[in-house]
Structures are given as C-alpha cells and as structure tokens.
Structure 1
Amino acid sequence: MGFTARGVGLLVATVALLAVGFRFAYPELVLLGVAAGSAVGYALVIASWRPRLEVTRHAEPDRVGRGETAAMSLTVRNAGRLRAASLVALDRCGETTVPVPVLRLRPGRDTTVRYDVPTDRRGVVPVGPLRVTRGDPLGLVAVSRLYGAALPVWVYPRIHPLTAVPTGAGRSLDGRMDAVAHGSITFDSLREYVVGDELRRVHWRTSARVGELMVRENVDTSLPRLVVLLDNRAAAHPERVGGVVESFEAACEAAASVVTAAYRAELPVVLVLVAPDAVGAVGSGAVGSGAVGSGAVGSGAAPLDRLAAVQLGEDTLDATLARVRADRLGDTLVVLTGSGGHDSLGRIGALRGVYPSVVVGVFGAAEPAHAAGLVVIDAADGAAFAAEWDRVRRW
C-alpha cells in the first residue's frame, strides 16, 4: 500500500492543520484537519479491500520457434459474493506490460483477454503474474497486488532442415569398428522369458541347464550417436550487434537443427554446454536431461528447452572437454563455436582419438578456420551452416 503524491500532501496538511489548530486554539483549522484526516482514513479503508480474483492463463502454444505466433489467454474471475470489481490490471509479458480491463466484473463472472507474446528473440518469455492496482475515488492511496502464477513461453531457435546426418562409427562388442547407417544387432545378455517374447529368441541350451526359459537380449551397438557441444562461453562470442550476439544465436540455431535432424532420423543425440546452464545442468557441461532417445517425443523437448534458455557464461572449456573425453558420449562430435573459438580448435582436435568423426562449426569469423583432422564449417548464420552441412560428403 502506498500514498500517491496527492495523498502525501493531504496527509502532511492534516498533521499541520491539527498541530496549528490545537497549538493556537483555532477550531476552524482543527475542523479542516479532521476533515482531511477523515478523507485519508476513508481512502485507506476503500483501498484496503482485497478483491477475490481467480486468475488462470493458457499459452497457445507454450513452445514455439523464433518468429512463429504465440498467444496468451488470460481469464480473470470475480470469486467474491457481494460487489462488482472495477480495477486497473497489468499483465507482465517479458519486458513489457499488457493492460487488462477489469470493469464492473460482477460476482461469479469472468472476463477473458487474449494477446500475442513476442517471439522475435530466442529465450524464455515470462508471462505474469497479473498486477492489480486498486485506489480510492479521491486518488489518495494506491494498492498493488499480484494474482496468479507466471507462465513461461519457450521460444526456440530457428530450425533449418538438414538432409544429411552423420552415419558415425560404432564399436561392436567383438572389438570391430563398423561404419554403418542403420546399426547392427549384437548379443548382450540373457534374461527370463516373459509372455510376449518371440520363441526364436529363446536360448535353448541355457534354458535346459537352468530349468526355465531364457531369452537373448540384443543391443544395437553400431547405431550412430551424435554429441552436440555448444560453446556458450562469452569469450567465444565477443562481438555484439545492437546488444545481440549474432554468432551465438547462429550457433544455437545450428545446434537446434542438428538435434532435430538426429531426432527425425531416430538417432540418439546428446547436447552438452560448455558453460553451465540453468535448465537441466548438473555441472560444467552436464548432459543431464539433454539426451534425446530415438522415437520419444517427450524427451525431444529437453534439448530445445535448454537451447531456448541458454545464455553466455564463464570459460569452463577445459573441464568440459575432459568430461567429454572421459565419458565418450558418442562417435560423432559436433562442436559449435564463435569467432573467439579459433584458439580452441587444437584442444578440440585432440578429441579425434576418442570420437572417430569431429565436425566444427565456426560462426562470425573474419577468416576461414582450418584444423587438421577436423571437418570445419565456416558460416555467417544458421541458414549458411545448414547449406554447408549438406555439402559435406565425408564425415
């Protein structure tokens, strides 16, 4: 609760009139002071009434690509029983506010407002809560209260279609390196038979020895697995244009394009960030929920959520590369960096012994980058990266 400028002036006048009136025995001044104090008291009573409002919101949809249309539907219901509500309400939408008219809203009634959510920039747009400001008729006091919870709208980077996906090279359990497009089936273990298992998978020799049906479990050991390493260090993207780091936005678009292409090809893919992120991070460069399982729609949203929320951070490249080397997350490594990542190509190239195929995308560089043993793609933006990506003939 706060006093307006008019309210502060009237409150000061009240104190002054009462003090002077009582000090010098002027009943007229005392009467004026009492009237002014009564007005202030009336304003406090009127403004202190808390309307019972129920606020619900629904995003249509809550996850969109950059530049696509998203809208927010806000419903305000008067849950009170006695009086109608006429209020001034503002709903937060990112960095702006949207006026929400709540005029003569009778008890038990509701009103719905629908407005567009800005999607011209990648990121997470917080929408809400609703700020309701109530004042008195004299304009002396204003009280602001928050209603409803905030709802984020995820704006994904632009996704550029990629026609080619690295086939990768997988190591089978018998020690061979296979470069295949669809993987191979290799024996992994035995388990007890359950209803629905195919009889041709029953291992009869073991079943006869243990006295119950045992079934072979096979794994697809040569299935290509992609690792997308997004360099989100501030040092890797030093140039800003109008407050926007264009090279980093292009790298995010490239990462989203590779992840989406792998998902559509039903290939496992892991998203790793150099600097820790706020969504799904367990530590420096943590994979966390960033892995996409083939054929799982629900799990496919996690990497794109991280790409929508990711920001530039501290330099933890050495720790991340050490983890990527130790964990051996896949067989094809795709590194996406900016013009400031030129000096890191040597350290990235050292992973060539762990990952049979290493692809590096460099964005916003003034001169083409070269590194022995690496496939380097120089691009100005995400669309140029997609075009150069499809021109690569040998991974």
Structure 2
Amino acid sequence: MRITSRGIGLLITGVLLLVGGIVFGYPELAAIGVAAALAVGMSLAAGLLRPRLEVGRAIEPDRVMRGEECRVTLEVSNARPWGSLTVVGEDYCGPRPVPIPLVRLRPGRKTTVSYRVPTERRGVVQLGPLRVGRRDPFGLARVQRPFGETGQVWVYPYVHPIAGVPSGSSRNLDGLAERVPHGSSTFDSLREYVPGDDLRHVHWRTSARIGELMVRERVDTSRPRIVVLLDDRTAVHHGDTFEDACEAAASVVAAATRADLSVHLLTASGTSLPVAADSSGYLDVLAEARPHTDEELGQNGLAGIAERARQMQAGDTLICLTGRAAPEDLGAMMALRGTYATIMIGLFGPQQGPGADAGFQVIAARDAAEFAQLWDGIWS
C-alpha cells in the first residue's frame, strides 16, 4: 500500500495548514488541515479492506517451440455478495508486467482477459501472480495485492530438420568395437524368471545349480548409442552461440529418437539424462539450460567434463556442442577417442581455428541453421 502523489500533496498541505492554524491562531485553518489528514487516513484504511477475488489461470499450451503461439487466459470474478469492485491489474510475464484492464465487477460477476506470451526466446517464462490494484474514490492511496496462482511456460529451442544421424559402432561384451547387422543381439546378464518370460530364454544349467529359474537378458547390439554433450560454460559462448548450441542439441536428439536410437544428453553443469524414444523430457532440460561460470562448475575447462563422459561410457558416438573452443578443449576431446568410436565437435560463432584435422569430425557453423545444413552434408 502506498500514498499517491495526490495524497502526499494533500497530506503535506494539511500538516502545513494545521501547524499554521495553531501558530497563528486560526482554528479554521487547523480544522481544514485536520480534515485533509483524516481524508488521507480514511483512504489508507479503505485500502486495508481486501477484495474477495477469485482468479483462474489457463495456459494454452504450456510447452511450445520457439516462435509458436502461446496464450494466457485469466478469469477474474468478484466473490463478494455485495458491493461492486473497480480494479486494475497487471500480470507478470517473466520480468515485465502486462497491464490487465479489468471492467467494473458486480457481485458474483466475472470477466475474462487474455494476452500472448512472448516466445521469441528459449527459456522458462514465469507467469503471475496477478496483482490487482485499488484506488479510493479520491485517488489518495493505492494498494496492490497478489491473487491467484502462478504458472510457467517452457519455450523449447527450435528443432531444425536433420536428415540422418551417425550409424556408430556397437560394442560387444569383450570390449571390441564392431559393426553388426540390424536386429542382432548378445547375452548381457541373468535375472530371475517372472511370469510371462519366454521359456526358451531360461538358462537351465544355472537354474539347476541355484534352484531358481534364471532367464537370459539379451541386448540389441545393433542400436548405436549416442551421447550429446552440451557445453554450457559461460567462457566459451558469446552472443547467441549458446542458443545455437541448444537448438543443435535438440535437433540431434530429435533425429536420433526418430531413428529409434539410444541417446544420452549430458551437460557440463551436471545434467545427465537418458532419453527414451517416446520422451520429450530432454526439451524441458534444454529449455531450462543456462550458461554457468567456471566458479559454479568447479572444474577446469572441458577436461573435467570429458572425464565424466569417459566414466559414463554411455555410448559409442559422442557429439560435443560448444562455442569458441580453446586448444586444450579440443585436446580433452581427443583423449576420448579410445572410449568413443566416433567423435564430432560442433563449434558455433566465429572461430580462430577449429582444428578440424584432429582425429574427429568438426562442424564450424555461424548458427544452428547452418549447423543443420552442414550436418546433413555429412550424415545424410
């Protein structure tokens, strides 16, 4: 609650009249000053009466691709059984307020307002709460209170169409990297039998030895496993290169899931997400992603991230998406050639020298759209 400029002026005038009336012996001036101060006090007291408003919020849809349409609809109703309300509100859409002009609400009546959420930038847009302001009839005081619940809109990075993904190499249990025909499988482990298992997969020798039915678990070695590493360090990104890296990551993961490949999304800040073929959870992660400083990460360049990728051994193809990579960063990627059969580096923004002849494929692109074109030229 705050006093308006009109209220401040009236209060100062009233105090001056009161003091002047007392000092110079004019009771009429003092009475006028007291009346002015009382008017301001009554306006403040009126603002303490909290209006009974019910606010409903509908977001359609709450997850959109960058540039797509998203609207918020607010339904505001006067729940008081008596007395009309004239209110003006503003809803917060991210850091900026959106003015919501509300009509005069009679008891039990409601009004509906709608506005468009800006989706030009990737990220999570925080919505609300709706703040409703009231003024007294004389405009001396103004109070603003929050009503209703808040909401969120996930703005996904734009997914560029990509024609193909690397076929990769598959690793058998002996640790050898080899290409295998589609549909082949190999033994992975033994587990207890559960109703519904195919009896042809029962390992009878082990079952006889331990006294319980044991079933062979087999894995499809023909499915390449791809690790997408998003470098979210502030030091390597300039301008919109981080946004381009997020779009490239979304495009690669989307193409891999369409091809029914196993994908693992990894970020320098610590996110490790295995992506299911029918899941879009990786888009939530990419919408929430932000650059991190070296102090936040607590590790030395890309070397620490590469060590995490080595320990994971989550795939046979590693795709690293970064900004302006330093020579030591490329060296850290070179050290992974014994762990990953295929390594690709995506560099965004102006480069001083990508080091393309470093034992792995390098795509240097100005933005995500050019990255998709260069990618198709290699893998389609």
**Superposition TM-score, scaled by structure 1 size:** 0.87
Deviation at residue 211 of structure 1 after TM alignment: 4.5
Find the aligned partners of 1:325 and 1:126 in 2 and give their Cα distance: 37
Q: C-alpha separation between the residues in 1 aligned to 2:221 and 2:191?
A: 19
When residues 175 and 227 of structure 1 are mapped into structure 2, their CA distance, relative to the original with a 3 A threshold, is: closer
CA–CA distance in structure 1, aligned partners of residues 285 and 6 of structure 2: 48
Is contact 2:346-2:362 (8 Å) kept?
Answer: yes
Q: Does the 8 Å contact 2:228/2:318 carry over to 1? A: yes
Give the deviation of 1:209 after TM superposition: 4.4
1:367-386 to 2 correspondences below 5 Å: 369=354, 370-386=356-372
Judging changes above 3 Å, is the alpha-carbon distance between structure 1 residues 203 and 350 closer, same or farther for their aligned structure 2 residues? closer
Aligned to 2:157: 157
The match for 1:246 among 224, 240, 243 is: 240
| 1:183 to 1:388, Cα distance in 2 relative to 1, 3 A | farther
Q: Report how many aligned residue pairs link the two structures.
A: 373
Write the distance in 1 (CA, Å) between the matches of 2:48 and 2:248.
53
Judged with a 3 Å threshold, the aligned counterparts in structure 2 of structure 1 residues 354 and 93 are, in CA distance, closer, same or farther, namely: same
For residues 263-302 of structure 1, what are the structure 2 equivalents within 5 Å? 263-274=257-268, 276=269, 285-287=270-272, 290-295=273-278, 297=279, 300-301=280-281
Alignment check: 8 A CA contact 1:78 1:106 kept: yes
Determine if the alignment matches structure 1 residue 335 to structure 2 residue 323. Answer: no
**CA 149–205 in structure 1, closer or farther in 2 if over 3 Å, else same:** same
Q: CA deviation at 1:234?
A: 2.4
> Structure 1 unaligned runs (5+)?
239-244, 277-284
Aligned partners of 2:198 and 2:155: how far apart in 1?
45
Residue by residue over 1:211-264, the C-alpha shift from the partner in whole angstroms, topping out at 9 and shown as x without a partner, is 5543222233553221111222222123xxxxxx23222211111101111222
Give % identity.
53
CA pair 310-327 structure 1, distance change in 2 beyond 3 A:
same
Residues 250, 382 of structure 1: 8 Å contact kept: yes
The separation in 1 between residues aligned to 2:339 and 2:254, in whole angstroms, is 24
The code of the aligned residue for 1:355 comes to Y
| TM-score normalised by L of structure 2 | 0.90
Residue equivalent to 1:102:
102
Cα offset for 1:15?
2.2
- Distance in structure 2 (CA, Å) of the matches to 1:93 and 1:166: 41
- State the 1:354 CA deviation: 1.4
The question of whether the paired residues in 2 share the 8 Å contact of 1:236 and 1:339 is answered with yes
In the TM superposition, residue 161 of structure 1 has moved relative to its aligned partner by 1.4
Q: Does 1:305 align with 2:284?
A: yes
Q: What does 1:1-395 correspond to in 2, within 5 Å?
A: 1-180=1-180, 182=182, 184-221=184-221, 223-238=223-238, 245-274=239-268, 276=269, 285-287=270-272, 290-295=273-278, 297=279, 300-301=280-281, 303-315=282-294, 316=299, 317=301, 318-341=303-326, 344-366=329-351, 369=354, 370-393=356-379
Alignment partner, residue 280 of structure 1: none
Q: 1:163 to 1:25 in 2, by over 3 A?
A: same
Q: Kindly indicate whether the alpha-carbon contact (under 8 Å) linking 1:181 and 1:223 is maintained by their aligned counterparts in 2.
A: no
Cα offset for 1:328? 2.1
Change (3 A) 1:108 1:185: farther
In 2, are the aligned partners of 1:339 and 1:363 still within 8 Å (CA)? Answer: yes
Q: Structure 2 unaligned segments of length 5 or more: list them.
A: none
RMSD of the TM alignment (CA)?
2.3
